Amino acid sequence: MRADATFAVKAFVPTELKPEPAVFTGLPVGVATMEKRFDGEAAGRSATLFTAAFDQTTGVGTYVAMESFEGSLHGREGAFNFVHSATTSGSDRTAEFFTIVPSSGTGELAGIAGAGGMAVDADGTHRIWFEYELG
C-alpha cells in the first residue's frame, strides 16, 4: 500500500553534539533535532535526529536521519520509526535510502514494514511517501 503526504519542518535545532574523538575532515559533521508535520494519506508528526556532513555555501553533502512518526497512514493510528539518507552535489539528490524500521510499529501500525521516499518540488513543497505492508 502507498501513503502520500506533504510535510513541513516546524523546528530545526542544531545541537552541540560532536563526534569524539575529533576527526577533522573537509566537511564537518553536525547533529540537529527536527520536528515535522504531515498532511495527506500520512498525517501526524515526527521527531527526528538529523546528522549531516554538509557545506552550506555549495550545497554539497550527505545526511542521515532517524525519524519517529506518530499519526496515521490511511486512517490507521499508531507510531513507527523510519530512516532516510541522501547525498547532494548542490542541485540534485543521489544515493537515496529510505526504510521503515522493522518491529517499530505500534497501535494499528504494529507489524509495519516497507520503504518510501522524499522529494522537494520546484516550488519548495516537501513530499513523502510510504510503500508499506502491515503484518
pLDDT tens, position by position, 99-131: 999 999 999 999 999 999 999 898 999 999 999
Asked whether the beta carbons of 2 and 100 are under 8 A apart, the reply is: no
Distance CA 44, CA 130 (A): 13
Q: Is the pLDDT of residue 16 over 90?
A: yes
Distance CA 123, CA 115 (A): 25
The CATH number given to whatever domain includes residue 55 is 2.40.350.10
In this prediction, residues 87-106 reach a mean pLDDT of 94
More confident site: 135 or 101: 101
- Paired strand residues for 14: 32
pTM, two decimal places: 0.93
Please give the residue range of the domain that contains residue 127.
2-134
Domain count, the chain: 1
